[in-house]
Structure 1
Amino acid sequence: MDPVKEVEALGRAKGFSEDNRKFVNVSLGQGQEPIAERGLQTAAQSGGWVFLQNIHLMAKWLPKLEKLLLQLSMSPHPDFRVYLSAEPPANPHVQSLPLSIVQTSIKVTNEPPQDFKANLSRAFANYSPESLEQCSRVSEYKSILFSLCFFHALVLGRRKFGPQGWSRVYNFNDGDLLISSDVLFNYLENNVKVPWEDLRYIFGEIMYGGHITDDWDRRLCRTYLELLMREELFDDMEMAPGLTSPKPMSYQQYKEFIDTSLPPESPELFLLHPNAEIGFLTQQSTLLFSTILELQPRQVGGSGGMSMDEKVAESVEGFLTSLPSDFEELSVDEPTPFASFVLQECGRMNILLKAIRSSLAELDLGLKGELTMSERMDALKISLFQDKVPDVWAAAAYPSLKPLAPWFADLLRRHKHLESNASDLSMPKVVWISGLFNPQAFLTAIMQTTARKNNLPLDKMVLQTEVTKKTMEDITVVPREGAFVNGLYLEGARWNEKSNSLDDSILKDLTPPLPILYVKAVHADKRELSDVYQCPVYKTSQRGPTYVFTAQLKTKAKDKKWIAAGVALLMSVE
C-alpha cells in the first residue's frame, strides 16, 4: 500500500497542503537529499509536515538524516511533523534503517493477508458497484477485472512460500492493481477486440513487472497472465484447480462468489505442489528455533555444566585439529581451461582455510587471556556457541545456508574433492559441481575447451544438458566433450527415470536428487529447445542471487506447469 494519498488527505484536513507550502513530499532518489534537508529545516522552523518516501533506498544518507532529525527535535515548531515510508528488507535479519529512527518513530505497518481469499476480497474491495458498471463493454470489463484481481491475489499469496514462490522479495501493492484496471478500462473503450497481448505486456512487464528484478520471476509473472488473460476467460475457463471463471455478475454477487465458491486454501491454488507448504513451514520452524537459541543465556554453568567460554574453547580445539592443510602453489606451463579453473579453486580454498585458521587462533588466545577480546572475536565466539557460520568465514566461503557443524563437514568434503582434482589437473570422470567455489568458471571452461577444439566463437557457445541413466559405476572414462556432473537436487518436481522426464513430486520428498547430468557446449544455433523445461540452477534454496546456469530438462507436460510450480535445481539442500 502506498500511504502518500492518505497522508496528503489528512494534511489537507488539518490545514497542511502543498498549496499553502506547509506540506513537503519528497520521493527519495539520487540528488533528492538536499531538497529533503531543506524541507525538514524549513518545516522545523515555521511549522509544517514533511513526507520522505522510500528512505530504504538511501542507505548512505540515512546516518545524516538520523543526526539531522536529532538536531531538529531539540526545539521544533509545535506543528512540525515528519512522515517516513520504507519497504521491509529482502532479508529480515538485515537492519536497513538506523535503530534510533525506528525507536523514536510511531510505527505503522500494512501487510497483505496470508490467505488467498482475504487477498482476493481486499483486491475486489478497491472497487465500487458504480465503477464495475462504468465501462461500455461491461461484461468483458467485469470478467477481465475479476481475473486481474485474481492475479493480484496470486502474486501476493505466493510470497508466503518463500523463494519457491518468488526467488526475490517484491512489494506488490494495491496501486499496481488500480493502475492496471485503469489501463484495462481505456483499452476496452478504444479497441473493438480485447487486446490480450497488449494487456499482458502492460500488466506483466510494466505495472507488476516494474517491481520484478529477476528474469525467472518475470517469466513466472508472464506465465500467470498467459493462463488468466485470454479469450477462454469468457467461456468457463479453469482459473485454478477446481475453479472456473464466473459469468459476469453484480458487485454483490461477486463478493458472495469470493466468500462461498473459492476452492480450499492450498498450494495447488497457486499451481504449486503441496510440498511447497511443507518446505515453507519447515523454514518457519527453523527460524523460530534459531531465534530461541539466540535468546538463551550466554553465560551458563554451575553444577556440572560448561560455561560458554568452555564450550567455545572445546569447539575451537576441534576445528583447529580437523582443519586440513593449505594447497601448495602449483605452476603449469600451458594450462588447459580446466587446469586454470582448478588452480583458481585451490587459491579460493586456501583463502578460506587461512581465514578460519587465523580467526580461531586469535580467539583461542583471547579465551586464554593472552589477547584482549575484540568485537570481531566476540562475534566469532557467539557464532560458534550458536552453531552458526561466522561472518568472517562466510565472507571468504561459498553461499550456504547450513548450520556450522554440517557446513564444516561439507568444507572437509569439498577439500577432499578438490585435492583429487588438483593431483593431476585433468577432468575427472564425474564432477561434483555442488562442491565448487565457482561453478560458473567450471562451465565456462567447458565452453572454452569446446570452442577451441571445434574452432567456434566463444560468444556463440551455450550450454546444453541431458539427464543420463548412468550411475557412478557406469562411467569409466571422461567424455570427449563436456562433462558429467552430479550433486544437484530438484525442488518442485522429481525426475521420472522410467519416462526420462520431469514428473510431479512425491509427497514429503522435498528435494529428490537428480541423476547424473551430462553438460556440453554447443553453438547457439544447434541448441535443442523443443519439449524441454528451461530450469534455473541455484547454489542454495535462497535462489535469487545464487543463480548459476540454466539446465534443459525433458518434459511431457507444458513448461508452464513447471514454471508455475517454481521448479528449480539446487546445488545444496539444508
Structure 2
Amino acid sequence: LNDLGHIDPMYQFALDAYISLFNISLEKSKRSHKLEERIANLNNYHTYAVYKIVHIVCFVTEDWQENCNEWQENCNEFQKMLIVRSLRQDRVSFCVASFICKNLGSRFVEPPVLDMKAVCFESTCRTPLIFVLSPGVDPTGALLQLAESSGKSSQFHVLSLGQGQAPIAKRMITDGVKNGHWVFLANCHLSLSWMPELDKLVEQLQVEEPHPDFRLWLSSSPHPEFPITILQAGIKMTTEPPKGVKANMKRLYQLVTEAQFSHCSRPAFYRKLLFSLCFFHSILLERKKFLQLGWNIVYGFNDSDFEVSESLLSLYLDKYEEIPWDTLKYLIAGVNYGGHVTDDWDRRLLTTYINDYFCEAAVGDLFRVKGILNKEGYHSIFNLPATEHPEVFGQHPNADIASQIAETRTLFDTLLSLQPQVSSTGAGTSMTRGSREDRRCTHNAINLMKILFCFSSSIIKLQKGIKGVVVMSPHLEETFNCIYDVRVPPLWEKAYPSIKPLAAWTRDLCQRVAQFASWAGTTVPPTLIWLPGFTFPNSFLTAVLQSAARQHNFSPDKKGAKLLLPPNKTHMSNNINQPNMFPPVCPEDGVYIRGLYLEGAGWDKTNSCLVEAEPMQMVCPIPTIHFKPVERRKKMAKSESPDLPQTPVQTRNSLELKSGSAPADHWIKRGTALLLSLDS
C-alpha cells in the first residue's frame, strides 16, 4: 500500500488506517474453532477488504484459444502472460484478468459499486471522506441526494474553496464538530496555502470528542502538495464517470426529471432528439479511449453541457413549428460543446457527429425505439452491449487494439516504476535555390552535434561512475535507471520531441545523423527529404516557402503550400537505409518529402486512394509527397470543394487524398491522420 503513493500522490495509506481495517476484518470474518480454518477465513476476508478500500480510490486508466502444445501444459498462468506480453500486447489485459480470477477469484475483477451511503456508515466522525476528482464530474449532486436520504439536508453545508474562503471554512468545521453537521469543502487544490491549517484541524479531530454525526467531506484534484496525513487518515474515493456508452446514457437519463420530460409541447420530437443528445454526449465522452485516434486534445465535457443542450431542445421546439436544425447544431456543437474544443481538427469531428445525430432522420418514422414515449420505458431501450464496438464511434476495429496496447504499456510502466532500482555509487559555393534550406540544414546539423555531445558525454561519465572513478550525481543515477528500465533519459529527451522507446530512439538518432551527414557532403540539395529527421519540420517547410517566394518575387505572406502525390508510380520507401527509388530530379518548386505514415486508414497503391486498414495494421507508409509552394487564392466555393478529407499532420498542413468509396465524413470519424513519427 505504501508503494501506491509513487503512482499518484493521492494514494496514501497510513499504518493506523491499515490496523483499523485489520481489526474490522478480525471482527467480521467468519469464526472457527480450528486455527487453520480461522486463519484462512481471515486471510480471505481481509484480502478482499483491502482490495475494496484500494479500488474505490484508484482511477481506472479487460480466453485463450485451446492449444494442446507442450507449452500449454508446462507453463503456469504467469508464464503464459509473459508470452502473450511479448507477442500480443493488446491481449495482456485479458490475461491479467484471467490470472487474477484463477489465483484470487472472480470477485477481484468485478469492481465494487461505490456506495457513498455505506462508506459514510463505515466512517467515523474523525475520518475525513475525500473525493479525488476527475475532469467533468462533480460529486456535489450525489452528496446532496445522500444528505436528503439521511435526513441531513438542513445540516449539510457546502463551500467551494478559493481566495478568501479559509475563515468561512474554519468556522463551518468548528460549528460542524459541535452540532454534528456535514461539511463539504470542495476543490481543496485551489486553496493549497490553507491546507496546512486544514491538516491541523483534522489532527485535532483525533484528540477531541466531535459530535458523532459530524462528517468532513473533501474534494480535490490530484496534487503532490495535498497533505499526506489527511490522505492517510481519510477514506478516498474517485469520481470518474461510468465507462461505456450504455452506462453514460443511463446516467444522463437520470438527470432528466419527470417535469422536464413532460414539459415540451412537442413530446414526440423532443424525446427522439433527447435520445440523440444522450447518444451524442456519450460518444464524445467515450471517444477519448482511442487516444490520438479519438481527440487531439482531451476535453472535459460535463453534465452542464448536456443540461444546457437539453434546455435548448425544449426551448426551440416550443418556439418554432419547423425544427431550426442549423440553429440547434450551432448552439449545441458550435457554442456549448464547441466552447471546450480548441483544436480545428477536433472541431471538424464535432461538426461531423452533430450533423449525423441532429437531422430529419432522427425524428422520422424510421427511427423507432421501444419505450421512447414514456420515461419509465427508457429502461427497456438500453439493451445495448456493455462494451460497444468501435464502429459505433465510426472507428476501425484496429483503433480498439491500439488503445489496448497503450493500456498494457501503462500497466507495465507503472509496475516497473514501483520496482527498486539498483545503481552504483563512487567517489563555400553560393546557390540561389536551396540556400535557405541549406541554412535550415546547418541549424539542424548543429543541433544534432549538441545532442551527440550530450549523448556521448553522459555515457562516458556514466561508465566512469559505475567503475567508481567519479561520483554518481543525481543526473547520472537517473540516466542509469532509465537505461536499466529501457527508457529514454530526460536529459536526452530534451533534444527533440519523441515518443519512442530507448532502442527506437537511438536508431532514429542514427538515421537523423546519417541524413545530415549525407547532405553536408554535397553542394547539391538532395532530391528527397526525410522530413521526420528534422528537429523542427515546420522551420524547414517555411524555408522552402521563403525560397519559392524569393524566386517568383512574391511576398512570403502571399505564399501557401499544397501537399500533392506525384504522378510517378514508383515511390521512395520510408526506410532511410533503402536505396533511392525516386527519379533523381528535383521539382521546379518545392521538395519531395517522405517518411510519413497513415493512421486510421489503409492505402490503395493502385488507385491512389484511402481504403480500410487491414486487421492489425495500425499504420501504413504513405507514398512520397510533393510539398509545392503555391500562391494563396480565395477559398473555393462550397459547391466546388472536392469531397476529400483533409488529413492533419504535425506541421499543420493538409493533404488532399481520394476518399475512395467512403465519404469524407467516414475518415473524419476514423481519426485518419498523417504521422511524422511512430512510437516504435
TM-score under structure 1 length normalisation: 0.80
- Contact 1:135-1:189 within 8 A present in 2 as well: yes
Match of 1:151 in 2: 280
- Contact 2:398-2:617 within 8 A present in 1 as well: yes
Distance 1:571 1:364 in 2: 34
- Contact 2:138-2:239 within 8 A present in 1 as well: no
Are 1:290 and 2:290 matched, yes or no? no
Q: 1:405 to 1:371 in 2, by over 3 A?
A: same
1:244-274: per-residue Cα shift (whole Å, max 9, x none)? Answer: 56385322433312226x7982101111011
Structure 1 counterpart of 2:671, from 560, 566, 569: 566
User: What are the within-5 Å matches in structure 2 for residues 130-529 of structure 1?
Assistant: 130-235=259-364, 246=369, 249-259=373-383, 265-299=388-422, 309=424, 336-395=435-494, 397-424=495-522, 426-468=524-566, 469-472=569-572, 473-525=581-633, 529=641
Distance 2:670 2:562 in 1: 23
SS where residue 259 of structure 1 aligns?
A: coil
| Aligned residue type for 1:346 | A
Match of 2:185 in 1: 51
Report the alpha carbon displacement of residue 503 of structure 1 after superposing the two structures with TM.
1.6
Larger radius of gyration: 2
User: What are the within-5 Å matches in structure 2 for residues 53-92 of structure 1?
Assistant: 53=187, 55=189, 62=192, 64-73=193-202, 75=204, 78=210, 81=216, 83-86=218-221
Match of 2:68 in 1: none
Q: 1:480 to 1:280 in 2, by over 3 A?
A: same
Q: 1:483 to 1:103 in 2, by over 3 A?
A: farther
Match of 2:139 in 1: 3
Distance 2:469 2:387 in 1: 63
SS where residue 389 of structure 1 aligns?
A: coil
Structure 1 residue runs without a partner (length 5+)? 27-31, 89-94, 238-243, 300-307, 314-329, 539-546
- Contact 2:144-2:153 within 8 A present in 1 as well: no
Report the alpha carbon displacement of residue 236 of structure 1 after superposing the two structures with TM.
5.4
Structure 2 counterpart of 1:533, from 632, 639, 645: 645
Report the alpha carbon displacement of residue 510 of structure 1 after superposing the two structures with TM.
1.2
Question: Structure 1 residues 529-538 or 265-274, which shifts more?
Answer: 529-538
Q: 1:373 to 1:264 in 2, by over 3 A?
A: closer
Question: Structure 1 residues 368-377 or 186-195, which shifts more?
Answer: 368-377
Distance 2:175 2:418 in 1: 46
Report the alpha carbon displacement of residue 508 of structure 1 after superposing the two structures with TM.
1.3
- Contact 2:169-2:185 within 8 A present in 1 as well: no
Report the alpha carbon displacement of residue 118 of structure 1 after superposing the two structures with TM.
2.1
- Contact 2:244-2:386 within 8 A present in 1 as well: no
Distance 2:391 2:558 in 1: 40
SS where residue 35 of structure 1 aligns?
A: coil
SS where residue 486 of structure 2 aligns?
A: coil
Distance 2:188 2:280 in 1: 26
Q: 1:385 to 1:425 in 2, by over 3 A?
A: farther
Q: 1:246 to 1:7 in 2, by over 3 A?
A: closer
Report the alpha carbon displacement of residue 511 of structure 1 after superposing the two structures with TM.
0.3
Distance 1:371 1:37 in 2: 51
Distance 1:66 1:361 in 2: 45
SS where residue 373 of structure 1 aligns?
A: coil
Q: 1:356 to 1:236 in 2, by over 3 A?
A: farther
Structure 2 residue runs without a partner (length 5+)? 1-136, 573-580
Q: 1:346 to 1:103 in 2, by over 3 A?
A: farther
Match of 1:322 in 2: none
Report the alpha carbon displacement of residue 46 of structure 1 after superposing the two structures with TM.
5.8
Q: 1:96 to 1:161 in 2, by over 3 A?
A: farther
| Aligned residue type for 2:454 | A
Report the alpha carbon displacement of residue 507 of structure 1 after superposing the two structures with TM.
1.4
Q: 1:362 to 1:11 in 2, by over 3 A?
A: farther
Distance 1:122 1:563 in 2: 28
Distance 1:52 1:251 in 2: 33
Distance 1:160 1:198 in 2: 30
Report the alpha carbon displacement of residue 450 of structure 1 after superposing the two structures with TM.
1.7
| Aligned residue type for 2:515 | H
- Contact 2:559-2:629 within 8 A present in 1 as well: yes
- Contact 1:51-1:82 within 8 A present in 2 as well: yes
Distance 1:535 1:423 in 2: 35
Q: 1:80 to 1:297 in 2, by over 3 A?
A: closer
Q: 1:486 to 1:43 in 2, by over 3 A?
A: same
Q: 1:80 to 1:460 in 2, by over 3 A?
A: farther
1:166-189: per-residue Cα shift (whole Å, max 9, x none)? Answer: 222223232321221112111212
1:177-232: per-residue Cα shift (whole Å, max 9, x none)? Answer: 12211121112122222121122122213322233232222221111001111122
Match of 1:24 in 2: 159
The Cα RMSD (Å) is: 3.2
- Contact 1:463-1:519 within 8 A present in 2 as well: yes
User: What are the within-5 Å matches in structure 2 for residues 551-562 of structure 1?
Assistant: 551-556=655-660, 557-562=662-667
1:306-347: per-residue Cα shift (whole Å, max 9, x none)? Answer: xx659xx9xxxxxxxxxxxxxxxx998998221221122122
Identity %: 32
Q: 1:275 to 1:536 in 2, by over 3 A?
A: same
1:429-480: per-residue Cα shift (whole Å, max 9, x none)? Answer: 1110111100111111121112222222322322211123332323211111
| Aligned residue type for 2:402 | G
| Aligned residue type for 1:410 | D
Q: 1:133 to 1:97 in 2, by over 3 A?
A: farther
1:135-179: per-residue Cα shift (whole Å, max 9, x none)? Answer: 101111011100001111211221221221122222323232122
SS where residue 532 of structure 1 aligns?
A: coil
SS where residue 645 of structure 2 aligns?
A: strand
Distance 2:334 2:233 in 1: 39
SS where residue 146 of structure 1 aligns?
A: helix
Are 1:35 and 2:164 matched, yes or no? yes
Report the alpha carbon displacement of residue 116 of structure 1 after superposing the two structures with TM.
2.4
